[in-house]
Amino acid sequence: MASHYVVRNVSRAEPATIEALRDAGVATVHEAAGRIGLLGPAIQARQQGPAIAGSAITVSCHPGDNLMIHAAVEVCRPGDVLVVTTTSPSTDGMFGDLLATSLMARGVVGLVIDAGVRDIATLREIGFPVWSRAVHAQGTVKASPGSVNVPVVADGQLVHPGDIIVADDDGVLALPIAQGAATVEAARKRLANEEAKRKTLAEGTLGVDLYHLRPLLAELGVEYVDDLP
C-alpha cells in the first residue's frame, strides 16, 4: 500500500459560513469558538490588511522540497486556502510568485505555510496574501514524495483537509466544518456586545467599572492609595 497520497475529494463548508467567519476576524472567531484552533504566532502575515477565509487544502512536504505543493494545485478550487507543512522544521523559501500565479488561476485565496516564502515583494504586488514562518531566499528542489489532503500540524495546531481557515493580521485559525455555523452565531453576538462596550468606553466609562472589576481587585488585596507609605 502507498504511504503517500494526493486525495482529490475534500468536504467544504458553506460559502456563507466561510464569508461570515472571515468578516468576524481571527480574534473574534477564536473567542466565539471557545478558544480553539489557533495556530502558533511563528506563522505571521507577510502583508498588512488582507483578511481571508476558505477551505483548507493541506500539504505535507519533505523539508526543502516543494514537489507536493505543485501536486496540490490541481485539487484546489476557488475559495480554498493552501496549508503547507514540512515533516521536520524548515525555513527554506518553498513558495514564490510562480506558484502564487498558478494558485490564483485556480481561485485560491491565500497560503498558510509552516516554512519559508520568497519573492515577497512580488507576492505583495500581485495581491496574493501569505502567512509563513519565515521569509527566506533559500531555494528548494522537487524530488521527494509527500501527501496532499491528509491531516497536518501547522505551528502546533492540527489542521484537517476542509477545515475552515481564517487568517488576518492577528494570525491564523483552523476551525472544523461542524463548528462553523454555531461559531458564526456566537461571533455575531460577540461583535454586537463589543460594539456596545466600545460605545460605553468611548463615553468615558472605565474598564474597571464596565467589567465590575473593583470587587475583584479588593478581593485580591489591591489597595488604592494616594501615595506609597
Binding residue positions for substrate: 96-99, 118
Cα dist. 177→14, 28, 66, 78, 105 in Å? Answer: 9, 17, 28, 17, 25
Q: Which residues are annotated as a binding site?
A: 96-99, 118-119
Return the sign of the alpha-carbon dihedral for residues 27, 171, 21, 31.
negative
Return the sign of the alpha-carbon dihedral for residues 115, 120, 126, 129.
positive
Phi (first) and psi of residue 171, to 5 degrees? 135, -155
> C-alpha grid cell for residue 185?
452565531
- Other C-beta atoms closer than 10 Å to the C-beta of 219 total 8
Q: Which residues are annotated as a binding site for Mg(2+)?
A: 119
